[in-house]
Amino acid sequence: MNPSKQPVRDALLGLAVGDALGVPVEFQPRSHLTAQPVEGMRGYGTYQQPAGTWSDDSSLTFCLADSLCGGYDLADMAHKFIQWKAGQLWTPHGVVFDIGNTTSYAIDQLNIILRSGNPSDLKYLPYAGATEFTNGNGSLMRILPLLFYLRGRGLDEQLERIREVSALTHGHLRATLACAIYLRLAEYLLHDYTPLDAYRATQGDIRRHWQEREIAARECRLFSGILEADLHERPESSIRSDGYVLHSLEAALWCFLRESSYEATVLRAVNLGGDTDTTAAIVGGLAGLYYGAEGIPTHWRNALARLEAIEDLCHRLQRQYKAIPPPMVY
């Protein structure tokens, strides 16, 4: 990897800019955005927020990154999520304007656990997001900072840590597996793999690992469209961009593999419609890693709310995890 690169900054700014691009048009149908596509940073719209405002996607990503600056501590992660929901930490303008139902309930449960004086119970989650019908994208959207703690570790350890961090809000195996695919591909991007090469390497690693560990066959089959096929060759009409974690992962990877610049990638994600901010945040993190923060249009970066605070967070996390060992081949 080029030692002059700043992968934490690349990833977090890429994620936040994608998020902010999608916020004004969240829930807009694809047909509307096909007719009137997003072409740049807008303000107001769905939540009546000024241009450059990021959502809960970035807020919880920043909370996780902030916690990891001090090492891996589930109780501290939970505490920061609780502070955010109370409007005390990592909001763009001092208020929480967007939060998913499962995430909201989960954070309330985290608060109960921490107040009970038994933070070790966090290792035995889930208390929320544990059913097949609560498989939203709320852990996938915030998981990217964990990459910098996990890089270079074996897949068994990675999967266990991913399970713990995902389960703070989304405890179902499906959410964990989606996060594992995403972070494995991101780890290859850290080492200058092309998007397609990173995708191919991830397919091989994940298939072998899941087969040998006998991960639930039914869950694995759900990911066959990512792991057994050429996802990027599917037509747009087959790509769904709602809040279901599997659809979000597919949509993000589809955009990343089909486009050749940061700008084109995140705009493609936003203009899929639906959960626009989250799809663009998920793929924006990958595109930021690959194209670098300098590949993000300057006026988009400069429009971000609390840019100086984000830059400081990136610097702190980069300093904590500056050594990047190569991915452990499985």
What is the tens place of the pLDDT at every residue in 249-292?
999 999 999 999 999 999 999 999 999 999 999 999 999 999 99
**What mean pLDDT, rounded, does the chain reach?**
94
- How far is residue 68's CA from residue 255's CA, in Å, rounded to a whole number? 29
* pLDDT tens by residue, 185-202: 999 999 999 999 999 999
As a whole-number percent, the residues of the chain with pLDDT over 70 amount to 95
SS3 label, residue 126: coil
Burial (CB < 10 A; 0-12, 13-18, 19+), residue 310, is buried
Residue 94 phi, psi (nearest 5): 90, 0
* pLDDT tens by residue, 12-66: 999 999 999 999 999 999 999 999 999 999 999 999 999 999 999 999 999 999 9
Residue 76 structure tokens: 């501290």
C-beta neighbour count of 301 within 10 angstroms: 20
As a whole-number percent, the residues of the chain with pLDDT over 90 amount to 88
- How far is residue 126's CA from residue 16's CA, in Å, rounded to a whole number? 27
CA angle 273, 263, 296 (to 5 degrees): 130
Q: Give the model's pLDDT for residue 122.
A: 84
- CATH architecture of the domain with range 7-320: Orthogonal Bundle (1.10)
For residues 196-214, one letter each, b for 16 or more C-beta atoms within 10 angstroms of the residue's C-beta and e for the rest, the string is: eebbebbbebbbebbeeee
Region 296-320: what's the mean pLDDT?
Answer: 97
Q: What is the pTM of this model?
A: 0.95
**Whether the predicted pLDDT of 328 surpasses 70:** no
Split at pLDDT 50, 70, 90, the class of 327 is low
* pLDDT tens by residue, 198-257: 999 999 999 999 999 999 898 999 999 999 989 999 999 999 999 999 999 999 999 999
The residue with greater pLDDT, 184 or 132, is 184
